[in-house]
Structure 1
Amino acid sequence: MVNIIRAADLALVGSNGGAWVAPLGTAQPTDPAGAPTGAWLAIGAISEDGLTNGVDEDSEQFTPWGLNSPFRTVVTSSVRTFSFTAWETNRPIVKSLQYRIPVEDLAPDEDGIITFAETATAAPDRRAWLFDVYDGTVWERFFIPEGEITERSEVTYAQGEMVGYEWTISTYPDSSNNLVYHSYLAPEVEEHMS
Protein backbone atom coordinates (compact mmCIF):
# COMPACT_ATOMS: atom_id res chain seq x y z
CA MET A 1 0.00 0.00 0.00
CA VAL A 2 1.17 3.51 -0.79
CA ASN A 3 2.14 5.64 2.21
CA ILE A 4 0.29 8.97 1.87
CA ILE A 5 2.30 11.78 3.44
CA ARG A 6 0.32 14.62 4.99
CA ALA A 7 1.67 17.71 6.73
CA ALA A 8 -0.83 19.82 8.65
CA ASP A 9 1.76 22.58 9.09
CA LEU A 10 1.65 23.17 5.31
CA ALA A 11 -2.11 23.81 5.32
CA LEU A 12 -3.51 27.30 5.66
CA VAL A 13 -6.76 28.24 7.39
CA GLY A 14 -7.60 31.88 6.77
CA SER A 15 -8.30 32.55 10.43
CA ASN A 16 -7.35 36.24 10.30
CA GLY A 17 -6.18 38.81 7.84
CA GLY A 18 -5.89 42.40 6.79
CA ALA A 19 -6.21 44.68 3.78
CA TRP A 20 -4.38 47.89 2.94
CA VAL A 21 -4.46 50.32 0.02
CA ALA A 22 -1.99 52.93 -1.21
CA PRO A 23 -1.69 55.33 -4.14
CA LEU A 24 -0.86 53.79 -7.51
CA GLY A 25 2.90 53.35 -7.83
CA THR A 26 3.50 52.60 -4.14
CA ALA A 27 6.13 49.88 -3.75
CA GLN A 28 5.50 46.56 -2.03
CA PRO A 29 6.53 46.71 1.65
CA THR A 30 10.01 45.29 2.23
CA ASP A 31 9.08 43.42 5.43
CA PRO A 32 6.97 40.51 4.18
CA ALA A 33 5.62 39.64 7.62
CA GLY A 34 5.09 43.09 9.14
CA ALA A 35 2.16 45.46 8.88
CA PRO A 36 2.74 48.02 6.12
CA THR A 37 3.49 51.63 6.99
CA GLY A 38 3.94 54.92 5.17
CA ALA A 39 1.46 55.46 2.35
CA TRP A 40 -0.43 52.22 3.14
CA LEU A 41 -3.83 52.84 4.78
CA ALA A 42 -5.67 50.05 6.60
CA ILE A 43 -9.14 49.04 5.43
CA GLY A 44 -9.98 47.90 8.98
CA ALA A 45 -12.45 45.18 9.91
CA ILE A 46 -13.50 42.77 7.19
CA SER A 47 -16.60 40.58 7.43
CA GLU A 48 -16.35 37.01 8.71
CA ASP A 49 -16.50 35.80 5.08
CA GLY A 50 -12.85 36.86 4.77
CA LEU A 51 -11.05 37.30 1.46
CA THR A 52 -11.87 35.50 -1.79
CA ASN A 53 -9.22 35.24 -4.52
CA GLY A 54 -10.92 34.57 -7.85
CA VAL A 55 -9.63 33.39 -11.20
CA ASP A 56 -11.82 33.83 -14.27
CA GLU A 57 -10.39 32.34 -17.44
CA ASP A 58 -11.75 31.81 -20.94
CA SER A 59 -10.13 29.57 -23.50
CA GLU A 60 -10.46 28.53 -27.11
CA GLN A 61 -10.10 24.88 -28.09
CA PHE A 62 -8.84 23.77 -31.49
CA THR A 63 -10.06 20.39 -32.72
CA PRO A 64 -8.59 19.28 -36.02
CA TRP A 65 -10.65 17.67 -38.73
CA GLY A 66 -10.99 14.00 -38.11
CA LEU A 67 -10.53 14.13 -34.31
CA ASN A 68 -13.13 14.37 -31.54
CA SER A 69 -10.80 15.89 -28.97
CA PRO A 70 -8.96 19.20 -29.14
CA PHE A 71 -5.24 19.00 -29.71
CA ARG A 72 -4.56 22.53 -28.47
CA THR A 73 -6.17 24.96 -26.05
CA VAL A 74 -5.30 28.66 -25.84
CA VAL A 75 -6.21 30.86 -22.87
CA THR A 76 -7.88 33.94 -24.36
CA SER A 77 -8.66 35.79 -21.13
CA SER A 78 -7.34 35.47 -17.58
CA VAL A 79 -8.59 37.79 -14.84
CA ARG A 80 -7.56 37.76 -11.15
CA THR A 81 -9.92 39.26 -8.57
CA PHE A 82 -10.05 39.72 -4.81
CA SER A 83 -13.39 40.12 -3.02
CA PHE A 84 -14.30 41.06 0.55
CA THR A 85 -16.71 43.19 2.58
CA ALA A 86 -15.35 46.23 4.43
CA TRP A 87 -17.20 46.84 7.67
CA GLU A 88 -15.60 50.09 8.87
CA THR A 89 -17.66 52.20 6.49
CA ASN A 90 -16.87 55.49 8.25
CA ARG A 91 -13.10 55.02 7.91
CA PRO A 92 -11.95 57.77 5.48
CA ILE A 93 -10.07 55.42 3.11
CA VAL A 94 -13.09 53.11 2.94
CA LYS A 95 -15.42 55.99 2.01
CA SER A 96 -12.80 57.14 -0.50
CA LEU A 97 -12.77 53.74 -2.18
CA GLN A 98 -16.54 53.27 -2.16
CA TYR A 99 -17.26 56.63 -3.79
CA ARG A 100 -14.06 57.08 -5.90
CA ILE A 101 -13.02 60.31 -4.23
CA PRO A 102 -9.61 61.35 -2.87
CA VAL A 103 -9.26 60.58 0.83
CA GLU A 104 -8.03 64.16 1.35
CA ASP A 105 -11.49 65.42 0.32
CA LEU A 106 -13.03 63.77 3.38
CA ALA A 107 -11.81 66.31 5.93
CA PRO A 108 -14.41 67.32 8.54
CA ASP A 109 -15.54 70.93 8.91
CA GLU A 110 -15.37 72.86 12.21
CA ASP A 111 -18.44 70.94 13.44
CA GLY A 112 -16.91 67.55 12.60
CA ILE A 113 -19.22 67.00 9.61
CA ILE A 114 -17.88 65.56 6.38
CA THR A 115 -19.77 66.25 3.17
CA PHE A 116 -19.19 65.07 -0.40
CA ALA A 117 -21.15 64.47 -3.59
CA GLU A 118 -21.25 61.43 -5.87
CA THR A 119 -20.33 62.23 -9.44
CA ALA A 120 -22.33 61.04 -12.42
CA THR A 121 -19.09 60.36 -14.32
CA ALA A 122 -16.92 57.66 -12.77
CA ALA A 123 -13.22 58.07 -13.49
CA PRO A 124 -10.72 55.20 -13.20
CA ASP A 125 -9.57 54.72 -9.60
CA ARG A 126 -6.56 52.38 -9.71
CA ARG A 127 -4.56 51.94 -6.53
CA ALA A 128 -2.03 49.55 -5.03
CA TRP A 129 -3.50 46.84 -2.78
CA LEU A 130 -2.07 44.53 -0.15
CA PHE A 131 -3.83 41.53 1.42
CA ASP A 132 -2.50 39.37 4.26
CA VAL A 133 -3.91 36.05 5.44
CA TYR A 134 -2.78 34.67 8.82
CA ASP A 135 -2.94 31.23 10.43
CA GLY A 136 -0.88 31.37 13.62
CA THR A 137 2.73 31.82 12.49
CA VAL A 138 1.90 30.86 8.91
CA TRP A 139 0.98 33.71 6.57
CA GLU A 140 0.43 34.56 2.92
CA ARG A 141 0.64 38.00 1.32
CA PHE A 142 -0.80 39.24 -1.99
CA PHE A 143 0.54 42.50 -3.44
CA ILE A 144 -1.45 44.02 -6.30
CA PRO A 145 0.50 46.92 -7.85
CA GLU A 146 -2.49 48.01 -9.96
CA GLY A 147 -6.00 47.15 -8.83
CA GLU A 148 -9.38 48.78 -9.01
CA ILE A 149 -12.80 48.14 -7.48
CA THR A 150 -14.84 46.91 -10.44
CA GLU A 151 -17.90 45.61 -8.58
CA ARG A 152 -19.79 47.14 -5.67
CA SER A 153 -22.81 45.43 -4.13
CA GLU A 154 -25.92 47.01 -2.70
CA VAL A 155 -25.56 48.49 0.78
CA THR A 156 -28.23 47.52 3.31
CA TYR A 157 -29.08 49.70 6.31
CA ALA A 158 -31.20 47.57 8.64
CA GLN A 159 -31.56 46.80 12.33
CA GLY A 160 -29.55 43.74 13.27
CA GLU A 161 -27.31 43.93 10.20
CA MET A 162 -23.81 45.36 9.91
CA VAL A 163 -23.46 47.96 7.16
CA GLY A 164 -20.72 46.91 4.78
CA TYR A 165 -19.23 47.72 1.41
CA GLU A 166 -18.85 44.52 -0.61
CA TRP A 167 -16.16 44.95 -3.26
CA THR A 168 -14.47 43.01 -6.01
CA ILE A 169 -11.02 44.29 -6.97
CA SER A 170 -9.76 43.46 -10.46
CA THR A 171 -6.01 43.34 -11.07
CA TYR A 172 -4.20 44.93 -14.01
CA PRO A 173 -0.69 44.20 -15.33
CA ASP A 174 2.12 46.39 -14.01
CA SER A 175 5.16 47.50 -16.06
CA SER A 176 6.61 43.97 -15.67
CA ASN A 177 3.33 42.44 -16.95
CA ASN A 178 2.56 40.93 -13.51
CA LEU A 179 -0.86 40.98 -11.86
CA VAL A 180 -0.21 39.72 -8.33
CA TYR A 181 2.97 39.21 -6.29
CA HIS A 182 2.85 36.37 -3.74
CA SER A 183 4.84 35.93 -0.53
CA TYR A 184 4.22 33.22 2.04
CA LEU A 185 5.77 31.48 5.01
CA ALA A 186 5.26 27.86 5.90
CA PRO A 187 7.28 26.38 8.78
CA GLU A 188 10.10 24.00 7.87
CA VAL A 189 9.26 23.94 4.17
CA GLU A 190 12.63 22.38 3.33
CA GLU A 191 11.77 19.10 5.06
CA HIS A 192 8.63 18.78 2.92
CA MET A 193 10.34 19.31 -0.44
CA SER A 194 10.66 15.61 -1.21
Structure 2
Amino acid sequence: MTTPTPPAIARATDLSIVGANGGGWVAPAGSASPADPAVQPVSPWAAFGAISDDGLVNGVSEDSTDFTPWGLTAPVRTVITKSVRTFKATLWETANPIAMSLMYRIPASGFTADGQGITSYAETGSPEPDRRAFWFVVLDGSTMRGFYVPQGEVSDRNDITFKQDEMSGYELTITAYPDDAGSTVYHSDRLPVAGGSGDS
Protein backbone atom coordinates (compact mmCIF):
# COMPACT_ATOMS: atom_id res chain seq x y z
CA MET A 1 0.00 0.00 0.00
CA THR A 2 1.38 3.37 -1.04
CA THR A 3 1.75 5.93 1.70
CA PRO A 4 0.07 9.16 0.62
CA THR A 5 2.23 12.26 0.42
CA PRO A 6 0.93 14.95 2.78
CA PRO A 7 0.23 18.37 1.30
CA ALA A 8 2.89 21.05 1.53
CA ILE A 9 2.08 23.71 4.11
CA ALA A 10 2.85 27.12 2.67
CA ARG A 11 4.33 29.60 5.11
CA ALA A 12 5.67 33.09 4.45
CA THR A 13 7.18 34.80 7.47
CA ASP A 14 7.39 38.10 5.59
CA LEU A 15 3.59 38.12 5.38
CA SER A 16 3.36 38.17 9.17
CA ILE A 17 3.60 41.34 11.21
CA VAL A 18 4.86 42.18 14.68
CA GLY A 19 3.87 45.52 16.13
CA ALA A 20 7.50 46.55 16.60
CA ASN A 21 6.83 50.28 16.55
CA GLY A 22 4.10 52.76 15.82
CA GLY A 23 2.32 55.93 16.78
CA GLY A 24 -0.90 57.88 16.86
CA TRP A 25 -2.01 61.32 15.71
CA VAL A 26 -5.15 63.39 16.21
CA ALA A 27 -6.75 66.21 14.22
CA PRO A 28 -10.12 67.96 14.03
CA ALA A 29 -12.95 65.63 13.03
CA GLY A 30 -13.13 65.06 9.30
CA SER A 31 -9.52 66.09 8.60
CA ALA A 32 -8.09 64.51 5.45
CA SER A 33 -6.27 61.22 5.91
CA PRO A 34 -2.47 61.21 5.76
CA ALA A 35 -3.12 58.23 3.44
CA ASP A 36 0.42 56.75 3.51
CA PRO A 37 1.86 55.15 6.68
CA ALA A 38 5.39 55.87 5.39
CA VAL A 39 4.82 59.64 5.29
CA GLN A 40 5.15 61.92 8.32
CA PRO A 41 1.74 63.49 9.11
CA VAL A 42 1.66 67.28 8.93
CA SER A 43 -0.60 69.95 10.44
CA PRO A 44 -3.38 69.79 11.51
CA TRP A 45 -2.27 66.32 12.68
CA ALA A 46 -0.62 66.30 16.13
CA ALA A 47 1.21 63.33 17.65
CA PHE A 48 0.20 61.55 20.86
CA GLY A 49 3.85 61.06 21.79
CA ALA A 50 5.21 57.90 23.40
CA ILE A 51 2.86 54.91 23.70
CA SER A 52 3.46 52.13 26.23
CA ASP A 53 4.97 48.82 25.16
CA ASP A 54 1.49 47.31 25.19
CA GLY A 55 1.23 48.94 21.78
CA LEU A 56 -2.05 49.47 19.96
CA VAL A 57 -5.12 47.24 20.25
CA ASN A 58 -7.58 47.38 17.35
CA GLY A 59 -10.76 46.09 18.94
CA VAL A 60 -13.73 44.49 17.17
CA SER A 61 -17.02 44.05 19.00
CA GLU A 62 -19.98 42.52 17.19
CA ASP A 63 -23.39 41.17 18.11
CA SER A 64 -25.58 39.04 15.88
CA THR A 65 -29.00 37.42 15.78
CA ASP A 66 -29.55 33.93 14.37
CA PHE A 67 -32.75 32.87 12.61
CA THR A 68 -33.50 29.16 12.96
CA PRO A 69 -36.63 27.67 11.33
CA TRP A 70 -39.01 25.59 13.34
CA GLY A 71 -37.88 21.99 13.15
CA LEU A 72 -34.21 22.73 12.51
CA THR A 73 -31.34 23.13 14.96
CA ALA A 74 -29.02 25.19 12.73
CA PRO A 75 -29.72 28.77 11.71
CA VAL A 76 -30.40 29.57 8.07
CA ARG A 77 -29.43 33.22 8.43
CA THR A 78 -27.40 35.42 10.76
CA VAL A 79 -27.80 39.20 10.90
CA ILE A 80 -25.12 41.44 12.38
CA THR A 81 -26.94 43.79 14.76
CA LYS A 82 -23.90 45.66 16.12
CA SER A 83 -20.40 46.22 14.75
CA VAL A 84 -18.03 48.50 16.66
CA ARG A 85 -14.35 49.28 15.98
CA THR A 86 -12.12 50.64 18.73
CA PHE A 87 -8.47 51.51 19.25
CA LYS A 88 -6.84 51.24 22.66
CA ALA A 89 -3.45 52.56 23.77
CA THR A 90 -1.72 53.91 26.86
CA LEU A 91 -0.15 57.33 26.33
CA TRP A 92 2.97 57.77 28.43
CA GLU A 93 3.62 61.48 27.83
CA THR A 94 1.18 62.62 30.51
CA ALA A 95 2.53 66.20 30.38
CA ASN A 96 2.08 66.41 26.60
CA PRO A 97 -0.76 68.88 25.83
CA ILE A 98 -2.05 66.61 23.04
CA ALA A 99 -2.25 63.58 25.34
CA MET A 100 -3.77 65.72 28.10
CA SER A 101 -6.33 67.09 25.65
CA LEU A 102 -7.50 63.56 24.82
CA MET A 103 -7.57 62.49 28.45
CA TYR A 104 -9.44 65.49 29.82
CA ARG A 105 -11.51 66.45 26.73
CA ILE A 106 -10.08 69.96 26.72
CA PRO A 107 -8.44 71.70 23.71
CA ALA A 108 -4.66 71.46 23.80
CA SER A 109 -4.49 75.26 23.99
CA GLY A 110 -6.08 74.99 27.44
CA PHE A 111 -2.85 73.59 28.88
CA THR A 112 -0.74 76.72 28.51
CA ALA A 113 1.14 77.74 31.65
CA ASP A 114 0.55 81.20 33.12
CA GLY A 115 3.26 83.74 33.97
CA GLN A 116 4.05 81.82 37.13
CA GLY A 117 4.55 78.54 35.29
CA ILE A 118 1.24 77.09 36.54
CA THR A 119 -0.99 75.10 34.18
CA SER A 120 -4.57 75.23 35.50
CA TYR A 121 -7.59 73.37 34.17
CA ALA A 122 -10.84 71.85 35.46
CA GLU A 123 -12.61 68.58 34.66
CA THR A 124 -16.30 68.91 33.88
CA GLY A 125 -18.85 66.54 35.37
CA SER A 126 -20.95 66.85 32.20
CA PRO A 127 -18.65 66.34 29.22
CA GLU A 128 -19.78 67.39 25.76
CA PRO A 129 -19.20 65.27 22.64
CA ASP A 130 -15.55 65.48 21.61
CA ARG A 131 -15.25 63.94 18.14
CA ARG A 132 -11.91 64.08 16.37
CA ALA A 133 -10.06 62.40 13.54
CA PHE A 134 -7.39 59.81 14.37
CA TRP A 135 -4.49 58.25 12.45
CA PHE A 136 -2.65 55.19 13.76
CA VAL A 137 0.46 53.60 12.25
CA VAL A 138 1.94 50.17 13.03
CA LEU A 139 5.48 49.52 11.76
CA ASP A 140 7.45 46.31 11.24
CA GLY A 141 10.40 46.99 8.96
CA SER A 142 9.07 47.74 5.48
CA THR A 143 5.63 46.46 6.45
CA MET A 144 3.42 49.35 7.55
CA ARG A 145 -0.25 49.56 8.42
CA GLY A 146 -2.22 52.79 8.62
CA PHE A 147 -5.65 53.22 10.20
CA TYR A 148 -7.63 56.41 9.52
CA VAL A 149 -10.65 57.22 11.69
CA PRO A 150 -12.40 60.33 10.31
CA GLN A 151 -14.91 60.45 13.17
CA GLY A 152 -13.76 59.08 16.52
CA GLU A 153 -14.01 59.85 20.20
CA VAL A 154 -12.39 58.81 23.46
CA SER A 155 -15.09 56.54 24.87
CA ASP A 156 -13.29 55.04 27.87
CA ARG A 157 -10.53 56.23 30.20
CA ASN A 158 -8.83 54.06 32.79
CA ASP A 159 -7.36 54.99 36.17
CA ILE A 160 -4.09 56.90 36.33
CA THR A 161 -1.58 55.31 38.69
CA PHE A 162 1.19 57.32 40.34
CA LYS A 163 3.72 54.84 41.71
CA GLN A 164 7.48 54.66 42.17
CA ASP A 165 8.02 51.57 40.04
CA GLU A 166 5.42 52.24 37.35
CA MET A 167 5.14 54.72 34.50
CA SER A 168 2.00 56.83 34.70
CA GLY A 169 -0.10 56.81 31.57
CA TYR A 170 -3.43 57.65 30.01
CA GLU A 171 -5.07 54.38 28.96
CA LEU A 172 -7.62 55.44 26.38
CA THR A 173 -10.15 53.63 24.21
CA ILE A 174 -11.23 55.42 21.05
CA THR A 175 -14.45 54.42 19.33
CA ALA A 176 -14.74 54.90 15.57
CA TYR A 177 -18.06 56.32 14.37
CA PRO A 178 -19.45 56.09 10.81
CA ASP A 179 -18.68 59.01 8.51
CA ASP A 180 -21.00 60.33 5.79
CA ALA A 181 -20.14 57.30 3.65
CA GLY A 182 -21.00 54.92 6.50
CA SER A 183 -17.39 53.83 7.02
CA THR A 184 -15.68 53.77 10.41
CA VAL A 185 -12.04 52.91 9.64
CA TYR A 186 -10.03 53.34 6.44
CA HIS A 187 -6.93 51.18 5.93
CA SER A 188 -3.78 52.31 4.08
CA ASP A 189 -1.08 49.63 4.17
CA ARG A 190 2.37 49.00 2.71
CA LEU A 191 2.60 45.21 2.56
CA PRO A 192 5.08 42.73 1.07
CA VAL A 193 4.05 41.09 -2.18
CA ALA A 194 2.57 37.64 -1.66
CA GLY A 195 4.70 34.96 -3.23
CA GLY A 196 7.93 36.80 -2.50
CA SER A 197 10.66 35.63 -0.15
CA GLY A 198 9.60 33.57 2.82
CA ASP A 199 9.45 30.09 4.26
CA SER A 200 7.48 27.16 2.92
TM-score (norm 1): 0.95
Match of 2:63 in 1: 58
Q: Which residue of 2 aligns with 1:127?
A: 132
Please report how far the alpha carbon of residue 31 of structure 1 lies from its aligned counterpart in structure 2 after TM superposition: 3.8
User: 2: distance between equivalents of 1:100 and 1:67?
Assistant: 51
List runs of 5+ in structure 1 lacking aligned partners: none
CA distance in structure 2 between the partners assigned to 1:184 and 1:30 by the alignment: 9
- 2:146 is matched with 141
- Number of the residue aligned with 1:101: 106
Amino acid aligned to 1:117: A
Count residues with an aligned counterpart. 192
Question: Does the Cα contact within 8 Å between 2:36 and 2:188 map onto a contact in 1?
Answer: no
Query: For 1:120, what is the secondary structure of its paired residue?
Result: coil
Measure how far apart 1:172 and its partner are: 0.2
Q: Is the 8 A contact 2:56 2:88 kept in 1?
A: yes
**8 Å CA contact retained: 2:101, 2:108:** yes
* Relative contact order, higher structure (CA 8 A, sep 6+): 2
Determine if contact 1:14/1:133 at 8 Å carries over to the other structure. yes
Contact 1:9 1:186 in 2 (8 A): no
User: 1:19 corresponds to which residue?
Assistant: 24
CA RMSD in angstroms, aligned pairs only: 1.3
Taking a change above 3 Å as real, the CA distance of residues 177 and 190 of structure 1, as seen in their structure-2 partners, is farther
- Identity across aligned pairs (percent)? 53
Residue 170 of structure 1 and its aligned partner are, at CA, apart by 0.5
Query: Which of 33, 57, 63 is residue 28 of structure 1 equivalent to?
Result: 33
Structure number with greater Rg is 2
Give the counterpart of 2:188 among 175, 183, 193. Answer: 183
On the 8 A contact 2:97/2:111 being kept in 1, the answer is: yes
Q: Which residue, 49, 61, 86 being the options, matches 2:91?
A: 86
Runs of 4+ in 1 over 3 A off after TM superposition: 189-192
In structure 1, distance between residues paired with 2:47 and 2:69: 53
TM-score, structure 2 normalization: 0.92
**CA apart distance, 1:190:** 6.5
Instruction: Name the aligned partner's letter for residue 95 of structure 2.
Output: N
- TM-superposed deviation, 1:189: 3.5
CA deviation profile, 1:106-145 (whole Å, cap 9, x unmatched): 1111122210111111101110001000001111000000
